[in-house]
Structure 1
Amino acid sequence: MISADGPSTKSEETRDAGDRRRQPPEMLHLMFVVSVWLVTGTTISSLNKWIFAVYNFRYPLLLSALHMLTAIVVDYGLIKCRMIQHRGVGEQDLTTSAKCKVFLLSLTFCASIAFGNVGLNYVQLSFAQMIYTTTPLFTLAISTLILGKQHHILKYTAMMPICLGASFSIMGEVQFDQIGCLFVFAATMLRGVKSIQQSNLLQEEKINSVFLLYLMAIPSFCILAIAALVLENWAALQSPFQYDHHLWGFILLSCLGSVLYNLASCCVITLTSAVTLHILGNLNVVGNLLLSQLLFGHELTALSCVGAALTLSGIIIYQNSEIIVAYIDTRRARTPTGGSGEDVVCVKENDSNISKTPEGESSAEAAQEPNERTENQVHEKMA
């Protein structure tokens, strides 16, 4: 069987078969984690947009820095309380190369978050979500051009509806903003780079995903805090007591939601696979589009809806390419090609004829030997 990225191993098939035969307690645990991940993933973007649009909080870099600070505090507490044990490489075991990779991942991570939050200040949430669905396109292009990784033709084919759907979504956008579009596209490209860097650290450096999130949050907070101090307009910032107290409640919910979303993502990957995580991510896109229309009253034109449908269909094909290829290979294996039956019959007949010939010759020789012995005995008696 040929998978989308290469031949599949028996261990993966065994693991998949084991995942299908989950025990009821483990299945309930998986359903709970997936539910938490879907709820937090669907609400976190809408909550950030609500903070920017309703309360006019124009400090996206500061909000991103608060997200990272909350991640440091929560992850450190979980690790110290041994609620989450990292069985991978510890901080003291990291090589200099691995530490550099973690720092580069932190740069990419905080840049993608910052650009995404800045973009939400200018564009609608529905528009940003449709652009984010093109992340596999950037990931595929980067892995092919930089890493030289070859993918199945089905994955390249799936890029057509993804790009076409994103184009329709842009053309159907009611409130199009060029600056916001650039920020959202930059965030999308950085997401693709981040996924490749994260995959490298998890697979080659063998760092646990939760512990990697903790290591990544420390430099990310420093970078985002410095960027917020330098780039954002602090002169317009009012005293914290002059803001509506509900604003700080929403900011706290946004920070806790981002941490819970990242932790739930790690649990979903541990219990299932990264492919399952991306498939479930399509539900987040649909949920964010609905919330954008309900909470902010954003209008979705017919062209935007068509673009959303095309993009989601392309994403589904891309993320399930291995299953589709495996299904096609199975059908090909079950369907015999023309003339193969006759060839098998001919081969069997030839094999039977070949097998019969030596047996016939050996039996004839065996029959001649007793006759020769009998004739010799008769001649001896006469003599």
Structure 2
Amino acid sequence: MIAQLIWRQAAGHRQDRRYLRAGDNTRVQLQPCGCDDEANMISADGPSTKSEETRDAGEKKRGRPPPEMLHLLSAVSVWLVTGTTISSLNKWIFAVYNFRYPLLLSALHMLTAIVVDYGLIKCRMIQHRGVGEQDLTTSAKCKVFLLSLTFCASIAFGNVGLNYVQLSFAQMIYTTTPLFTLAISTLILGKQHHILKYTAMMPICLGASFSIMGEVQFDQTGCLFVFAATMLRGVKSIQQSILLQEEKINSVFLLYLMSIPSFCILAIAALVLENWAALQSPFQYDQHLWGFILLSCLGSVLYNLASCCVITLTSAVTLHILGNLNVVGNLLLSQLLFGHELTALSCAGAALTLSGMIIYQNSEIIVAYIDARRARTPTGGSGEDVVCVNENDSSISETPEPCSEEELYADNQVHEKTD
């Protein structure tokens, strides 16, 4: 059920349409609409009927082949499990076993990613259709290196912050990532967003403020590290999207390229900054500690690989929507494993932040729904309804699709001139 909902949201394509204006008389007046997708044009061999198009669309929506559906379910399950448990596992290593080497743990994460991704690429289990490492330009290599700096810094700051703050508090701060992404893309890249996305920032900021004020064991140092990790996450998402779109690098191959310099940077930082004098012999630590560290490393790799699979099979928007489940799961695990106290102010902050995230991540769906509702209302006082039908379609659908606001405006301009 959840896989079908994910697929229906990710699927969907635009069709050529034109206006249909039906009045009190039987005369029908059609005007062509603009077309953005040439792939949906009817071939010269002959136009297809509306019933055939409806039947084909129904066959596509009924479901995927069993292997592909199982692949999607497996990817979503692995992503949810690893995304929910990885932060709790790291916090368990730091809090229960008093392992005070977050940079070393981050470096081990990167080393595991290098080994696993290299094996997948060499065994051809990952279909690499982008540019190869030898085909990368100097500019692309610089972008990958800068992304590696941001990537390893965000992971390191996040793990360092978990040494000082509660897991539930860190999760609430992480949910403000869209705020930094939106601010950076607007101020630096000059990209404009819909007003609904800016509106969604209000409950996110208010919720984060409530979470900070309601935190029982507030630590300023840990809060600064977590905020730095959150800001770097926003920068990383912008850098990653630029590389994937402009350089056409496969996402798994990009993860492999990022892991190499990230491991070197984190290993050097761990050697220089962390207190190795207090490090005991590996045999003196609890044997379960190394098992948890291994699980943490494998979980981080599986999380990134599952993210790539979910994005490939559905969309990035679907991945962000599922991310809300990870936040809720981490909050519940924080309560069960560590007994962290949540005040009423913290709960209110969590609710506000999650509501803002839902509005932000579903802004396009909300805008499309509002536009569709507006399009169904009569315009121009003529008492006539405006709907759209498919281009080159000889039949009229019984349940036609509403036109967009731009199409309605253009159609009204034509009728005002003819009147």
TM-score interval (norm. to shorter)? 0.7 to 0.9
* Cα gap change, 1:297 to 1:354, in 2 (>3 Å): closer
- Contact 1:106–1:219 (Cα < 8 Å) also in 2: yes
* Cα gap change, 1:242 to 1:323, in 2 (>3 Å): same
| 12-21 vs 119-128, which moves further | 12-21
**Structure 1 consecutive aligned stretches of length 4 or more whose deviation exceeds 4 Å:** 1-20, 342-358, 365-383
Displacement of 1:18 in angstroms is: 9.4
Report what 2:110 is aligned to.
68
Count of residues in correspondence between the two structures: 376
| Equivalent of 1:44 in 77, 83, 86 | 86
CA distance in 2, matches of 1:147, 1:119: 29
CA shift digits 1:301-332 (9 cap, x unpaired): 11111110110000000000000001111111
Displacement of 1:367 in angstroms is: 47
Displacement of 1:163 in angstroms is: 0.4
Higher strand share: 2
Report what 1:8 is aligned to.
48
Report what 2:223 is aligned to.
181
- Contact 1:123–1:181 (Cα < 8 Å) also in 2: yes
* 3-state SS, counterpart of residue 357 of structure 1: coil
- Contact 2:372–2:402 (Cα < 8 Å) also in 1: no
Displacement of 1:341 in angstroms is: 2.2
| 135-144 vs 341-350, which moves further | 341-350
Displacement of 1:45 in angstroms is: 0.2
The answer for unaligned runs of 5 or more in structure 1 is 359-364
| 338-347 vs 47-56, which moves further | 338-347
- Contact 1:119–1:180 (Cα < 8 Å) also in 2: yes
Report what 2:277 is aligned to.
235
The answer for unaligned runs of 5 or more in structure 2 is 1-40
Report what 2:414 is aligned to.
378
Higher helix share: 1
Displacement of 1:333 in angstroms is: 1.0
* 3-state SS, counterpart of residue 115 of structure 1: helix
- Contact 2:212–2:346 (Cα < 8 Å) also in 1: yes
Q: CA RMSD in A?
A: 13.7
| 371-380 vs 98-107, which moves further | 371-380
* Cα gap change, 1:81 to 1:382, in 2 (>3 Å): closer
Displacement of 1:339 in angstroms is: 1.2
* 3-state SS, counterpart of residue 238 of structure 1: coil
- Contact 1:134–1:163 (Cα < 8 Å) also in 2: yes
State which structure, 1 or 2, has the greater radius of gyration over its C-alpha atoms: 1
* Cα gap change, 1:10 to 1:311, in 2 (>3 Å): farther
- Contact 1:4–1:154 (Cα < 8 Å) also in 2: no
Displacement of 1:39 in angstroms is: 0.2
CA distance in 2, matches of 1:126, 1:369: 43
* Cα gap change, 1:200 to 1:254, in 2 (>3 Å): same
| 366-375 vs 96-105, which moves further | 366-375
CA distance in 2, matches of 1:314, 1:380: 42
* Cα gap change, 1:17 to 1:126, in 2 (>3 Å): farther
CA distance in 2, matches of 1:11, 1:238: 73
- Contact 1:19–1:272 (Cα < 8 Å) also in 2: no
- Contact 1:72–1:218 (Cα < 8 Å) also in 2: yes
* Cα gap change, 1:338 to 1:103, in 2 (>3 Å): same
CA shift digits 1:101-144 (9 cap, x unpaired): 00000000000000000000000000000000000000000000
Displacement of 1:265 in angstroms is: 0.3
Displacement of 1:356 in angstroms is: 32
CA shift digits 1:144-170 (9 cap, x unpaired): 000000000000000000000111111
Displacement of 1:237 in angstroms is: 0.3
CA distance in 1, matches of 2:180, 2:280: 39
- Contact 2:157–2:226 (Cα < 8 Å) also in 1: yes
| 43-52 vs 84-93, which moves further | 84-93
* 3-state SS, counterpart of residue 345 of structure 1: strand
* 3-state SS, counterpart of residue 251 of structure 1: helix
| 298-307 vs 192-201, which moves further | 298-307
- Contact 2:378–2:385 (Cα < 8 Å) also in 1: no
CA shift digits 1:327-378 (9 cap, x unpaired): 11111111113613289999999999999999xxxxxx99999999999999
Displacement of 1:27 in angstroms is: 2.4
- Give the percent of matched residue pairs that are identical in Structure 1 and Structure 2: 93
* Cα gap change, 1:292 to 1:96, in 2 (>3 Å): same
- Contact 2:154–2:228 (Cα < 8 Å) also in 1: yes
- Contact 2:148–2:261 (Cα < 8 Å) also in 1: yes
* Cα gap change, 1:51 to 1:18, in 2 (>3 Å): farther
Displacement of 1:26 in angstroms is: 2.2
- Contact 1:4–1:322 (Cα < 8 Å) also in 2: no
- TM-score after normalising by structure 2: 0.77
* 3-state SS, counterpart of residue 390 of structure 2: helix
| 78-87 vs 127-136, which moves further | 78-87
Report what 1:134 is aligned to.
176
CA distance in 2, matches of 1:149, 1:381: 36
CA distance in 1, matches of 2:183, 2:145: 23
Displacement of 1:21 in angstroms is: 2.0
| Equivalent of 1:20 in 60, 77, 88 | 60
* Cα gap change, 1:2 to 1:199, in 2 (>3 Å): farther
- Contact 1:5–1:150 (Cα < 8 Å) also in 2: no
Displacement of 1:99 in angstroms is: 0.2
- Contact 2:387–2:403 (Cα < 8 Å) also in 1: no
- Contact 1:3–1:326 (Cα < 8 Å) also in 2: no
| 336-345 vs 349-358, which moves further | 349-358
CA distance in 1, matches of 2:364, 2:413: 78
CA distance in 1, matches of 2:80, 2:404: 86
